[in-house]
Chains A and B, each alone.
Chain A
Amino acid sequence: MRLSIERRQALTDLWLVGPATLALFLFIFLPVAIVAVLSFTDYQFGAASFNWSGLDNYIKLFSSSIGRRAVTNTLIYVAIVIPFSVGFGLLVAAGLHQMSNWAPRLSNVLKTVYFLPVAATLVAMSVAWQMVLHPSLGIVNQTLFSMGLPTPNWLSDRGLVLYTLSMIGIWQSVGYNMVLFLAGLAAIPSELYDAAEVDGAGSGWSRFWTVTWPMLGPTTLFVMVVTATNAFRVFETVATMTKGGPAFASDTLVYALYREGFVYFKAGYASAITMVFFAFLLALALIQFRFVEKRVHYR
């Protein structure tokens, strides 16, 4: 069989991009469409049929105390993790960048240490954190006890658990932000520091405010968006350590979507949670896109 050159070329293109395109449709675009449709139904996994329920699932999410809890908990978690993780990430990066001038070895070792939680298996580390924070056997409460201080139940105190999880979220993400900031710092031309010194900004602190911080502005916004994106997805620590409890005090969007969908099999309601989660992330992506353009312009 002879095919025209155009035909053959087209078949080659199809052969090269076809499988990947099909997979994208099958595992991304089709599911997104289905989950959007399901969010307006009362479908349950295993049920033979479903009814349209309009906005009921969304109303339930935002009006029931448990649903609202998941949304506000997630927002609180994100609101705590962003400033601390970005702030510590910047401080650590600035410190290590400075230190690499007079103690490059130590600076590298510390960089490795700070990045360790990013590479480590979070579920295993959550199990380890559970022992660190164990009410009686954990190192934290043993230390507090020996100093005569109160020994809180870090993971089972309703008022405390979300902050404990946020703290672990910060612990996990500082190293990642540090790496992004180190890249930003390395890109600052050293002439700027020389110029600042001539202009009288001699001390480390004033050099930071006159050169480093303004130059890192775009990086900082970018790091904040990335941190927020990751923080919104918090799941592993919650599933391992608290299962959203006690009394939903540490319930989050992704954990709620898992529980409603795959423990209680309420596919319709879980789809609505999914869509709300998706909306938050799309909003962040929009911010990031706007910013990435600026960043390209900057460099």
Chain B
Amino acid sequence: MNHPIRSRVLPLVLLLTGAAVILLPFVWMLSLAFKPRDEIFTTTIEFLPSQIEWSNFTFALTETDIPLFLWNGLVMVTGILFFQILFAVPCAYALAQRRFAGRGLLFGLVVAALLVPFHVTAIPIFLGFAQIGILNTMWALILPFIQTAFGIFLFRQFFAQLPADLFDAARVDGMSETAIVWRIAFPLALPAATAFAIFSVTAHWNDLFWPLIATTDPNLATPPRGILYFRDQESGDNVGPLMAAAVIVTAPLVIAFLLAQRKFIQGIAAGGLKG
């Protein structure tokens, strides 16, 4: 290194500046969430509140439906993940470890399905759900996502690496294929399952598109949908509680991310690579 100082200081300054820009909305959100009302509606620049004001959080948690939205979000992402695993894992196992007619074709279909963004299927699914009368139910939020070409693909890649002998031995022991899937293959695939779960939960917790379409009942609102209900009701008057609500909605995933960064980055990075 000819100029150790220059080659370190300049990138450091730039990286810190960039990080400050990235953090700006987070800091401002927290700042407003903890500020008393009169400090929000002021034109002087104050990054930090003069005192920590919890009343915004109390308001968001007791005077609004934010807890209900969180509950809805939890039910929805759990339901989606449960069915995704239930459907994808046996299919992926069969694709990787069994020989059957149409196996190549089925895998081709899975890859083709990866290319279809959810937005493309929204109109027909909405029509179908309207026909059978399940719009505005929790099922409407869960059902479209029980298929997961990405999940099948991810688990198949994982199962394909496992030795066939392992499964042959289990068959010799008299285990049924269903038992092999859930008692041998799935536990071995837990690393893949974790990455997939993080991807799935993050994507659906944060999704606004489908909840906006499938539900009009505020009692079924997921966190992103709910925060918009809250904002539109208060018509910009209740900034403090609104920011507190934004903090509450963002917190579960951000905290999970901070606790399990490596897993999180793997899961989301893998998920984003689908078409």
**Residues on A facing B (Cβ under 8 Å):** 9-10, 12-13, 15-17, 19-21, 23-24, 26-32, 34-35, 38, 45, 88, 91-92, 95-96, 98-99, 102, 110, 112-125, 127-129, 131-132, 136-139, 142-143, 145-146, 171, 174-176, 179-180, 183, 202-204, 226, 229-230, 233, 235-236, 239-240, 254, 257-258, 261-262, 267, 270-271, 274, 277-278, 281-282, 284-285, 288
Could you show 15 A-B contacts with beta carbons less than 8 Å apart? A16-B177, A16-B181, A28-B147, A95-B14, A96-B15, A110-B16, A119-B254, A119-B264, A120-B253, A124-B250, A125-B25, A203-B7, A226-B273, A240-B208, A288-B275
Please indicate the chain A residues that have their CB under 8 angstroms from the CB of B91 in the complex.
16-17, 19-21
Query: Is the beta-carbon distance between A128 and B25 smaller than 8 angstroms?
Result: yes
Partner of A28, one of B130, B149, B228, B247: B149
Give 6 nearest A-B pairs by CB, closest first: A123-B224, A20-B91, A23-B147, A31-B124, A31-B121, A128-B29
Q: Is the CB of B2 within 8 A of A230?
A: no
Assess whether B123 is in contact with A274, with CB atoms less than 8 Å apart.
yes
A residues in contact with B7, CB < 8 Å = 203-204
Contact residues, B72-124 vs A (CB, 8 A): 86-88, 90-91, 93-95, 98, 100, 106, 109-110, 113, 115-117, 119-124
By secondary structure, the B interface counts as: helix
**A281 engages B152 (CB within 8 Å):** no
Report which of B224, B239, B261 forms a contact with A131, defined as CB distance below 8 A.
B239
Contact check, A131 vs B32: say whether CB atoms are below 8 A apart: yes
Least Cβ–Cβ distance between A135 and chain B, in angstroms = 11
A110-B19, A121-B250, A262-B126 known; A21 and B109 CB under 8 Å?
Answer: yes
B18 touches A114 (CB 8 A): yes
Whether A30 contacts B25 by the Cβ 8 Å rule is no
Partner-A contacts on B (CB < 8 A): 1-3, 7-8, 11-12, 14-16, 18-19, 21-26, 28-29, 32, 40-45, 47, 86-88, 90-91, 93-95, 98, 100, 106, 109-110, 113, 115-117, 119-128, 130, 143-147, 149, 152, 177-178, 181, 202, 205-206, 208-209, 212-213, 223-224, 227-228, 231, 239, 242-243, 245-247, 249-250, 253-254, 256-258, 261, 264-265, 268-269, 272-273, 275
Task: Assess the A236–B224 pair: CB atoms within 8 A.
Answer: yes
Interface secondary structure of A, over-half rule = helix
Q: Are B242 and A127 in contact (CB under 8 A)?
A: yes
- Of B87, B145, B177, chain A has the most CB atoms within 10 Å of the CB of B87
B213 lies within 8 A of A119 (CB): no
Contact yes or no, B45 A143, CB < 8 A: yes
Once the chains bind, are B14 and A137 in contact (CB under 8 Å)?
A: no
**Pairwise interchain contact A102-B32, C-beta atoms closer than 8 A:** no
* Given A92-B15, A127-B242, A28:B121 Cβ within 8 A: yes
A122, A202, A230: most-surrounded residue (chain B CB, <10 A) = A122
A27 touches B126 (CB 8 A): no
Known: A131-B239, A267-B127. A202 touches B2 (CB 8 A): yes
Minimal beta-carbon separation of B109 from chain A (angstroms): 6
In the complex, the chain B residue whose C-beta lies closest to that of A109 is B19
* Neighbouring B residues of A95 by C-beta, 8 Å: 11, 14-15
**Number of residue pairs A-B, CB distance < 8 angstroms:** 270
- Residues A128 and B26 in contact in the complex (CB < 8 Å), given A9-B100, A235-B208: yes
Collect the chain B residues with CB atoms within 8 Å of residue A174's CB. Answer: 18, 22
Residues of B within 8 A of A175 (CB): 22
Chain A residue with Cβ nearest B119: A254
A128-B242 Cα distance, complex, nearest whole Å:
9
Q: B146, A27: Cβ atoms under 8 Å?
A: yes
Expressed in whole angstroms, the minimum distance between the Cβ of B116 and any Cβ of chain A is 5
Q: Which chain B residue lies CB-closest to A9?
A: B100
> Inside 8 A of B256's CB, which chain A residues have their CB?
119
User: Inside 8 A of A27's CB, which chain B residues have their CB?
Assistant: 121, 125, 143-147
A45: which B residues are within 8 A, CB to CB? Answer: 126-127, 130
Q: Are B113 and A16 in contact (CB under 8 A)?
A: no
CB distance B123 to A114 under 8 Å?
no
**Do B265 and A38 touch (CB < 8 A)?**
no
Considering the chains assembled together, what is the distance between the CA atoms of A261 and B3 in angstroms?
Answer: 60
Residue in A119, A143, A179, A267 whose beta carbon sits within 8 Å of that of B257 in the complex: A119
Would B22 and A116 count as touching, CB distance under 8 A? yes
- In whole angstroms, how far apart are the Cα atoms of A142 and B128 in the complex? 50
Task: List chain B residues, Cβ under 8 A from A114.
Answer: 18-19, 22
Q: Would A120 and B254 count as touching, CB distance under 8 A?
A: yes
Q: Which residue of A lies closest to B252 (CB)?
A: A121
For the complex, what is the distance from the CA of A284 to the CA of B123, rounded to whole Å? 23
Shortest CB-to-CB span from B93 to chain A, Å, is 7
Interface contact A112-B261, CB-CB below 8 Å: yes
A18 to chain B, nearest CB (A): 8
Partner of B98, one of A13, A121, A142, A229: A13
Report yes or no: B113 in contact with A99, Cβ–Cβ below 8 A. Answer: no
Contact B149 A278 (CB under 8 A): no
In angstroms, Cα B261 to Cα A138, docked, is 31
User: A226 CA to B253 CA in the complex, in Å?
Assistant: 23
**In angstroms, how far is the closest chain B Cβ from the Cβ of A121?**
5
Select A116's contact among B12, B26, B127, B209, beta carbons within 8 Å.
B26
Task: List the A residue with the shortest CB-CB distance to B216.
Answer: A262
